[in-house]
Amino acid sequence: MRSIYIAPWRVDVTVRDGVTAPLSAGAVGRVSARALDAAGAPSPASIAVILSNDAELTELNEKHMGEHGPTDVLSFPLLPPSAYPPHPGQHAGTGTARDTDFVLPPGRRQLLGDIVISVERATEQAQSGHGGQTGDVHWSVADELRLLVIHGVLHVCGWDHADADERDAMRALESELLGESKSAA
């Protein structure tokens, strides 16, 4: 694991054995920090990004989501959506109160959650033309991984895409953050 500090965030990046990451830990940290900023995450805080493979994502997908087979990214938030500012498309009653906040001892960071990404799935999606937000983009594996990091962070921060309005707002923010990430690369 490598901890990347980009004030006020700490991003703990783990690359599982046998996985070749198309982005450096620093790049994953920078992308994560931009998404945390955009989502208005409470700070200072930390988040974990684990770069793994289809086997681990299949296991996690079945255990936690009840779905069979691999997926590209899973997010495991530790705070409810109400811990984050409201965002476009969000249903009323979520993300509007900060009553879940609690005071941490001095110098301690709030743990926001974990994101697990299958680099194997990201590679397949990018190379086969099934990448991007709509599943019809042929681009670099690095771009697909950037998108999945952003997507995962937004999920940790209470964003969802089950409702069309929130999905559209989430996609717009992802596109904006992806453009910033690519220009800063």
Q: Is the pLDDT of residue 101 over 60?
A: no
Among the ranges given (43-57, 87-101, 113-127, 157-171), the one the predictor scored with the smallest mean pLDDT: 87-101
Report pLDDT for 88: 86
Q: What domains, with CATH codes, occur in the chain? A: 2-184 (3.40.390.30)
> How much is the average pLDDT of 32-40?
97
The amino acid at 118 = S
How far, CA to CA in Å, does 123 sit from each of 75, 113, 119, 143?
A: 19, 24, 6, 10
Predicted TM-score of the model (pTM):
0.90
Return the percentage of the chain with pLDDT > 70, whole number. 89
**pLDDT tens figures, 102-134:** 556 666 789 999 999 999 999 999 999 988 888
Of 145, 115, 36, nearest in space to 83 by CA: 36
Would you state the pLDDT for residue 44? 95
Q: How far is CA 65 from CA 57, 75, 76, 98, in A?
A: 11, 11, 11, 27
Structure tokens at 100: 């879940």
